[in-house]
Amino acid sequence: MNAEHGQNMTGHLFIVETELQLLAAMAIEHQYLLAGNDVAYYFVTSDKLLSAATERGKENLILLNRNHHGGFIGKVRFIKENTRTVINVAENITARGGACVLYVPRIDDIYNNVLTAQFRRKKLGKVALLPDGALNIFSSNITAACHKALKKWSLKLRLLAPGYSVLQYDGDELGADSEWIDVIYSFYGLNTGYCADKERYIEFPVQFSKTGESDSAIIIGQNFLAYHQANHDFVATVTAEIHSLLGVLKPQRIFYAPHPRAVTAEFRTDGMEPVSGPYLCIEEIIAVLGCRYVISCNSTALFTARLIDPSIRCYAVGAESSPIQNQYQRESLLSAMQDAGINVVTLPSAVHAT
């Protein structure tokens, strides 16, 4: 970390947990930040993201260790350490007369919630939401269970970490409607339904003219099993239906890309070529390969592929039965897919994801 700050400088502190969030943060830096006046800091939560940001020439990189151990007490310690790491940078900036903006993907996560609470309590600057993929399209109101969990955390931190607090809020589960969020960044072309007064738009940073030129398909795996979101029968049924769809489309080549944090190759069958090479997120591969067809279940990439090139034909196989938190979210997802021109392929029989 080597940025020098002075008066009238603004430090932009990005909390990055996924590849798409890193892509969005870099897009915000490129499209909104001014050289000489704004400095970006990237707080990433994995070695993979750290390497990806380094390869793209980013400076001021800080790794946040969230792989807590030691049970509940250990998690409290990690929350405090993560929070202090970011707050120390922010206070160093403001102590020199600068300003700060904190970017988080959501505040229902306890790490981001406590960090945002400290940032707000110390009056260090504004707070913005980073784009978090398809979840921004079909997020629902915060649930009673999440409310209860945040209240429990508030009590626990009061006892075990005096001086640290938890933000309580209503409305959108990610925090978009709350008083704690000043600005919401979204990709052009994705209809989030967020407050127009708060929303700012960024161009999706992957734009290649080659897309849609080849007669290739790419199958994008998901991570349902590892997250215990769906059972093996559901994944097997979606896999079989994707195989049938490929028989109809008859692409010349079929590529396969796993979910970046997957432990199994969901939806992969024989004859699929694994993608390779250095890439940050799947959208870059779709563009480079020039894929005409993008196939998955409810992956964010189905939406973002359409942002790269509206001529790409996207198929959401089994999306109507996919593991979604509630009926409102399911209806919002399917409506958004229809609006985006994504073809929803219904499973041949009623299959329950869980």
Helix, strand and coil percent figures for the chain, each rounded to 5: 40, 20, 45
Q: Which residues contact 266 (CB under 8 A, 6 or more apart)?
A: 221, 222, 223, 224, 225, 235, 239, 258, 259
Q: Which tokens in the block code for residue 212?
A: 């849609």
Instruction: Output b/e per residue, 29-59; b: 16+ Cβ within 10 A.
Output: beeeeeeeebbbbbbbbbeebbebbeeeebe
Does residue 344 contact residue 314 with C-beta atoms inside 8 Å?
A: no
Query: What pLDDT digit, counting tens, does each position of 215-240 carry?
Result: 899 999 998 877 677 788 889 999 99
Q: For the chain, give the number of residues.
A: 354
| Region 10-202: CATH code | 3.40.50
Residues of the chain with pLDDT under 50: none
Check residue 192 and give its pLDDT: 74
Cα torsion through 41, 80, 98, 30, rounded to 10: 20
Check residue 35 and give its pLDDT: 83
Phi, psi at 134, each rounded to 5°:
-60, -25
**Segment holding 84, helix H or strand E:** helix 71-95
Residue span(s) of the chain under CATH 3.40.50.850 come to 216-345
Check residue 193 and give its pLDDT: 72
Check residue 62 and give its pLDDT: 97
Check residue 109 and give its pLDDT: 93
Q: Which residues contact 124 (CB under 8 A, 6 or more apart)?
A: 87, 90, 91, 94, 100, 102
Long-range interactions of 60-66: CB distance < 8 A, separation 24+: 60/1, 60/2, 60/3, 61/1, 62/1, 62/86, 62/89, 64/15, 64/111, 66/111
Phi, psi at 200, each rounded to 5°:
-125, 150
Query: What pLDDT digit, counting tens, does each position of 32-51 carry?
Result: 999 889 999 999 999 999 99
Find the angle CA(338)-CA(331)-CA(173) to the nearest 5 degrees. 115
Does residue 239 contact residue 258 with C-beta atoms inside 8 Å?
A: no
Q: Which tokens in the block code for residue 293?
A: 């067809």
Place of tokens 């279940």: 297
Phi, psi at 47, each rounded to 5°:
-65, -35
Helices and strands in the chain: count of H runs, count of E runs:
10, 13
Check residue 93 and give its pLDDT: 96
Averaged pLDDT score across all residues of the chain: 88
Superfamily of domain 216-345: Isochorismatase-like (3.40.50.850)
Does residue 150 contact residue 168 with C-beta atoms inside 8 Å?
A: yes
Name the 3-class secondary structure at 219: strand
**Spatial separation of the C-alpha atoms in residues 192 and 190, rounded to whole Å:** 6
The crossing angle, in degrees rounded to 10, of helices 300-308 and 282-289 is 40
Single out the residue of 291, 208, 297 nearest to residue 249, CA to CA: 291
Check residue 70 and give its pLDDT: 75
